[in-house]
Amino acid sequence: MKRNTILIADDEAEIADLVELHLEKEGYRCIKAASGQEAVQAVQSQTIDLAILDIMMPGLDGYEVTRRIREHSAMPIIFLSAKTSDLDKITGLVIGADDYMTKPFNPMELVARVGAQLRRATQFNQQAGGSSSVLEIGGLVIDTGRHTVTKYGSPIELTPKEFDILYLLACHPKQVFSGEHLFERVWGETYLESGNTVMVHIRTLRKKLGDDKDKWIKTVWGVGYTFNG
């Protein structure tokens, strides 16, 4: 059975060692990086299944590492940071992270979130590889095999979560999804703050689509979101 490889990027050795200890107990293989540059080099030189990134690291910070990873990979990314403001969390999710945990943290909760993200990624890859499809709706082309979206022929750069939300909504036009339902379907877990997380992703997705008049994604106030195609 293949062991998933986890990148732990944190300049605090004690935290990196603690995370490594708990992940290895669950059978994961771990690679540690003490700076953003080391993290980028690790991703470029070997196969990584999931990355756990601190934000405040020497050289490249976690945000920049995420941007560079997202240029060529849809691997799950979890931020583990001492930055606790809502703005920090929103920034991390918008630039492409899949989850965000604050320090101090419960190591077992982190392990659980790692498992949930890996399961979701595996399920998506199996679906995409087994039944690749292309949806064309009102000028939008969503290609699950290539994981790309174009609008009237022009490519739109989406994070993996934004792509998953758009694809789920587009596959069920006119069906209304609550924020909680979207979170459970896309993130693959139940989360108390799901409503705010989904709202941030929907807002950014609309901005990237140029959907200022709700042409594609419509808010049903008090209920959720639906695809207007």
Contacts of 10 by beta carbon, 8 Å cutoff, 6+ apart? 16, 19, 32, 33, 34, 52, 53, 54, 57, 80
CB-neighbour burial class of residue 16 (10 A; exposed 0-12, middle 13-18, buried 19+): buried
**Domain annotation for the chain: domains and CATH numbers:** 5-126 (3.40.50.2300), 131-227 (1.10.10.10)
**β-strand pairing of 140-143 with 148-151:** antiparallel
Contacts of 159 by beta carbon, 8 Å cutoff, 6+ apart? 70, 94, 95, 96
Mean pLDDT along residues 221-228? 86
Phi-psi group of 194: left, alpha or beta (phi > 0 → left; psi -120 to 50 → alpha; rest → beta): alpha
| Average pLDDT along the chain | 86
For residue 105, give the nearest of 87, 79, 73, 136 by alpha carbon: 79
Contacts of 213 by beta carbon, 8 Å cutoff, 6+ apart? none
Phi-psi group of 12: left, alpha or beta (phi > 0 → left; psi -120 to 50 → alpha; rest → beta): beta
Q: What is the pLDDT, as a whole number, of residue 200? A: 87
Mean pLDDT along residues 99-118? 92
In this prediction, residue 187 has a pLDDT band, given cuts at 50, 70 and 90, of confident
pLDDT at 37 over 70: yes
In this prediction, residue 182 has a pLDDT band, given cuts at 50, 70 and 90, of confident
pLDDT at 127 over 60: no
Express each pLDDT in 44-57 by its tens digit. 888 899 999 999 99
Express each pLDDT in 58-107 by its tens digit. 889 999 999 898 877 878 899 999 998 888 888 888 888 888 999 999 99
pTM tops 0.85, yes or no: no
Residue of higher predicted confidence among 203 and 52: 52
DSSP helix/strand/coil, 158: coil
pLDDT at 191 over 80: no
Residue of higher predicted confidence among 46 and 189: 46
pLDDT at 195 over 70: no
- Helix H segments across 26-177? 36-45, 62-70, 86-95, 107-130, 160-171
Residues paired with 134 in a beta bridge: 143
